[in-house]
Structure 1
């Protein structure tokens, strides 16, 4: 796919949704970090149901630490891997207090050393909270990128590298959300909704639905 086609894809995404936002609900940078950590192997809807009540009582590292692991576990018990995630939330909160004055760091290296924070989580936080033009590749973006194709690669890291190099700079900040939303609601895994796809004429996916 040529550069002109790639630019046209993102021009259409922008025209339809100029300011895309995450489906995860959060109130500040800290709660965004916690929500993304909890979203691993879980749906955004499931995470929101759990974090709504949690964030009402603990929206800072200090409040989360005071809440304690047992109570955090109770709030998030409906989310997959809740035992490990509760430990990670408490541990990362302690590190934020002890090493970052209670603030979420704005660098990839500092984020990735936090418990439960991998490259994808760090990229999401950098993009959403700090306006860093990164594309965190989840299952939706991985599928969409290989289908269209915007980036043909066997790993999420390679897809991310390729996308960040190919997406025009003027669209890079919001590309993460456009691709996720497109994959979640239109270019779905089992049966993509090709008839309603705004980029169907540009997409080269051979198994389009009618």
Structure 2
């Protein structure tokens, strides 16, 4: 299994790692997605713990902004634009319908900034025991958050994703085939839950991804690193 060239001393440094990685010039700044945050939002709808308020507020803003954009688009829509003439034929009609659905899908994807992702990952990790249990109750599976992004080199763009798995200590992680692992010395994010992170990519362009990952890894500095071995004080669990 391939590994990137940065080893995190603690999994609790993942938010800083995510921020620095996505801020690198090799990463296209046009789009960062994390659709699983919608599951987190749904899982926490009825949660009453005050420590989850900031997470709920952040995710509700996403929902509200997406809804407002959809309503504005509907209000500004010209009725003439959605009339399909009989002469256009079934094939043209289906092409237009497909295009409209693609546009709707694009609008409903909330695009994040590196700072927003750092913030929400920090809040989730800070309250991981509560968030994990609520999400497990909703979905029936361990929590995974996957950030979609694009790498760029000159005019070449390639899709990739960073998946962060949260597991109870007794749970075994799935084997990550065709992925670059983010090495960590300490995977714990609480007394009972560990985190693991993987970069998934298009296998036929592995050389491209490795080059980009290596270049970004050389630029990353994390506050938990002290000395060559990355030794430092262990952050407190929350």
Q: After TM superposition, is the score higher than 0.5?
A: no
TM-score where L is the length of structure 1 = 0.27
Comparing both structures, which one devotes a greater share of its residues to strand? 2
Q: TM-score, normalised by structure 2?
A: 0.25
Bigger radius of gyration = 2
**Structure with greater proportional helix content:** 1
Structure scoring higher RCO (CA < 8 A, sep ≥ 6) equals 2
